Structure 1
Amino acid sequence: MIRLNSSAKPRAVMIGALAALLATTGTPAIAQDSDEARIRKLESEIRALQRRVFPGGDGRYFEPEISGQPTSGPNSSVQTTAVTDILARLDALESSIQSLTSQIEVSNNQQQGIEQRLSVLENNFATRTATPATGTVPATSSGGSTTTTPTPTPAPAQATGPSAERLAAVRAIAKPSTDDAGDDEYSYGFRLWEAEFYPEAQQALAAFVEQYPNHWRTTYGRNLLGRAFLDNGQAREAAPWFLQNYQADNDAARAPDSLLYLAEAMIELGDTNRACIALAEFAETYPAIAAGRLSDQYEGNRRKVNCPG
């Protein structure tokens, strides 16, 4: 079969056929029959190649304008010679091969362009969400390319100490004590968040995430830590935690929640573009959850922004 890996091969095929033709001009009857069979074989291979590269009969591929009949001018009654006919058909074969090669190259270039735009979008989505005060660490995305994942800032220390009443209220929240110390730490942070002691919840949850990075509750901890910032009016500090939780493992239990809360944080910051990116990513990655468990929150966020499409 004819391969299209090199633009020189079609010309080599043509030159070879022409050389064989010129070498046998001394025996016209036998040579013409032999050359005719070879030309028909080439035409057959071209049509087979077209059907393979552009399958279907919907007009997306073309039939080479190759005919076995000699051509004649409008004012001429003399038919072209067998040699002229063969040369014309060789030219048509060469033109067909070049057209196929060009279309394949265009298709490959378009595919590469799409992949490059997706890579740029992914990198922008990861890096622009990080705050200037936030450090970065490399992380590998699901597609294998290296992106930049923000290292979330820890909970800020309070400028002034809490009041005696607040300290008493915090102390009244019991910390669980079971045989799973990691789960106890997370549950304590959850209780603080539920009681709306957001700075204290931030500290407890940040300590849990740092101490138990591989615990099954870690996806819950990072997500809840982001919420402790978001609910405290700190959308900029919340966003890196949501992004990190999604990028760490997008199959984790709270990864879809974090992506949706990331969109919510961007909406609060007035960043419609990144909010729409997060919402689009959520809908594409978690269609069942977008239509089920988190449908109300998803639709509510969509109503807050005017996203393209």
Structure 2
Amino acid sequence: MTMTITYRARMPLVAIALGLVATPLLAQTTAPKTTASTTADADVRLRKVEAEIRALQRKVFPEGAGKTFVPEITPGQTTATVTGTPASSAISDVLARMEALEAQLMRLTAQVEDGQNRAAKIEERLAKLEADAAPATVEPVASPPAVATPAVPASRPTTSSAVPKPVATTPTKPATPSAARVAAVQAIEKPATADAGQDEYMYGFRLWEAKFYPEAQQALQIFVDRYPKHKMISHGRNLLGRAWLDDAKPGTAAQFFLQNYLADKNGARAPDSLLYLGVAMARLKDNEKACGAFTELAANYPQEVAGRIKTQYDTARASVKCK
């Protein structure tokens, strides 16, 4: 009887002991599951953040190695610990690394945004500078026809300031020719060769030689206008001036002489035009400009003055008193 009671009395004690033992075992079996799950989630987050940082670093530093940021946590570096405390758990290290990577990602993102903002401002300033540097459109201004002054050969001295600038005069309209004059002009034959420019010049020369000056002026003007590059253009412009000078219109003649001289100072009749320019100014009673033309002629064409046009030069020079 006593043994039975003792056995039954101990049964609750055994059950209580088993219960106490089972509780820690249950806690030990469930705790690792919770820790593993947390570690897996943190590891997934960590790999995602590391992948994003690598992608961001490739964008910010396309040149690769040597251009990345120093990680917040390096091998062997740990968070601040107190001597004597146990080492932190694996989950604590992972969370610390993840927080450091997230902070680094934020800094990289801010730098990218700052770089994009700077690039946008630079492009804006560049566009403004290009717009300011663009040349303004200038409307062409009509100007009266003029002949450009070519460069004077270095071998010849120049006294261009002495060249007179005659006052422009309006040519008078020629009177209606008589029937006899018309018949006489028609009797002058116009050449017809393969060189149309030469034919036009020779026809004007024949009219001038026959003293039909208005008709010669018209023919020579056609030659000058139609054939400005012809080999006889210097002859044509000079003869046109002679036709006006011989027609007692020295003001108009002077313009053509000056034009021919300035258009081509190396032209075949440039010295002649300068000579007759002086003659025209002398007829206009402008001795100063006449002397200037003769001085220019002697300075630039000494060989012509001493040779081919010596007689004409001496006669014209003697007609005026120069200082």
TM-score normalised by L of structure 2? 0.50
Verify the 8 A CA contact 1:256 1:286 in the aligned structure 2. yes
Which of the two has higher C-alpha Rg? 2
* Unaligned 5+ runs, structure 2: 1-143, 154-159
2:244 pairs with one of 203, 226, 229: 229
Match for residue 180 of structure 1?
Answer: 195
Equivalence map 1:166-205=2 (5 Å): 166-205=181-220
Measured on the aligned residues, the alpha-carbon RMSD in Å equals 2.8
> Aligned equivalents of 2:310 and 2:192: distance in 1?
36
**Partner of 1:139: helix, strand, or coil?**
coil
Verify the 8 A CA contact 1:137 1:149 in the aligned structure 2. no
**Partner of 2:148: helix, strand, or coil?**
strand
Match for residue 314 of structure 2?
Answer: 299
Match for residue 270 of structure 1?
Answer: 285
> Aligned equivalents of 1:305 and 1:199: distance in 2?
29
> Aligned equivalents of 1:211 and 1:155: distance in 2?
21
> Aligned equivalents of 1:180 and 1:240: distance in 2?
28
1:252 pairs with one of 267, 275, 287: 267
Matched, 1:142 2:146: no
State the Cα distance separating 1:306 from its structure 2 match.
1.2
Identity value in percent = 54
Matched, 1:220 2:235: yes
Q: Deviations over 1:66-117 (max 9, x none)?
A: xxxxxxxxxxxxxxxxxxxxxxxxxxxxxxxxxxxxxxxxxxxxxxxxxxxx
2:294 pairs with one of 273, 279, 304: 279
1:157 pairs with one of 163, 167, 173: 173
1:238 pairs with one of 234, 238, 253: 253
Q: Deviations over 1:218-237 (max 9, x none)?
A: 11010000000000100001
> Aligned equivalents of 1:287 and 1:238: distance in 2?
24
Verify the 8 A CA contact 1:175 1:187 in the aligned structure 2. yes
Verify the 8 A CA contact 1:267 1:305 in the aligned structure 2. yes
State the Cα distance separating 1:279 from its structure 2 match.
0.3
Amino acid at match of 1:302: R
> Aligned equivalents of 2:264 and 2:152: distance in 1?
13
State the Cα distance separating 1:139 from its structure 2 match.
2.2
Verify the 8 A CA contact 1:185 1:204 in the aligned structure 2. yes
Verify the 8 A CA contact 1:223 1:245 in the aligned structure 2. yes
* Unaligned 5+ runs, structure 1: 1-134
TM-score normalised by L of structure 1? 0.52
> Aligned equivalents of 2:171 and 2:232: distance in 1?
19
**Partner of 1:175: helix, strand, or coil?**
coil
